Amino acid sequence: MREIIFDTETTGLESKSDRVIEIGGIELINNFPTGRTLHLYINPGDRKVHPDALAVHGITDEFLKDKPSFGEVAQQIIEFFDGAKWIAHNATFDMGFMNAEFGRLGLPPVMSDQVIDTLAMARRKHPMGPNSLDALCRRYGIDNAHRTKHGALLDSELLAEVYIEMTGGRQTALGLMGNERSATVAEVDEVVAAVTGRPRPLTPRLTEAELEAHAAMVASLKDKAVWLKYRPAE
């Protein structure tokens, strides 16, 4: 199964008027990262970055001036996501923007059955919350100390680890750690358990009459009785 964990950064909060200015994606196949990524900065045309959005992601109008338009990278995005599930945290927000961008180009929208929202997953799994990306990183012991501002690729990398934890746990997440950390049977410490006998036997629960009835039934079966295999040696 092929999935793309992705995130976007935008000029503001209104998908009908604001624009996508960054997209990052991480490819997973069968819940393992393949190493394939997508990371693009996008020129929003005449739409300026809102100061509140700038405070979140730090991407300036000046930085975006020489970047390609969405129309110039749309095919690259479509090819990267082709045949995969689109997975995002609060996917309604990201997909609203992506589908608005596709719509401006006359391209079909991504249908809801192709989208997985990890925020909805987290709310079902952890109904008491909190379920922000930072909170989930803390919950699952994922280091996000380097996340001082939002960034599409960095957030995608963190979300990929969170998603793997929510769907498979550390057994699968070992794939993110590189070959030197891959789990093998040889690396598992030997566990030795000491088994001791009971200090005194349990009190029998069968009555003498039940024991005699069972013995008679075994005798009637003769050599076919399976219980004869477990008869104490005389």
| Number of continuous H segments (helices) and E segments (strands) in the chain | 9, 5
CA distance 65 to 49: 12
Q: Is the bond leading into 199 cis (omega within 30 degrees of zero)? A: no
Residue type for position 68: P
CA distance 176 to 143: 13
Check: CB of residue 41 under 8 Å from CB of residue 59.
yes
The strand ranges marked E within 49-150 are 85-88, 115-117
Three-state SS for 177? helix
8 A C-beta contact, residue 137 and residue 162? yes
User: Please, is 172 exposed, middle or buried when counting C-beta atoms within 10 Å of its C-beta (0-12, 13-18, 19+)?
Assistant: middle
The question of whether 126 is a catalytic residue gets the answer no
143 exposed, middle or buried (CB, 10 Å; 0-12, 13-18, 19+)? exposed
Q: Are 59 and 21 in contact (CB under 8 A)?
A: yes
Q: Which residue of the set 89, 126, 146, 150 is catalytic?
A: 150
- By DSSP bridging, strand 85-88 and strand 32-41 are unpaired
Q: Which residues are catalytic?
A: 150
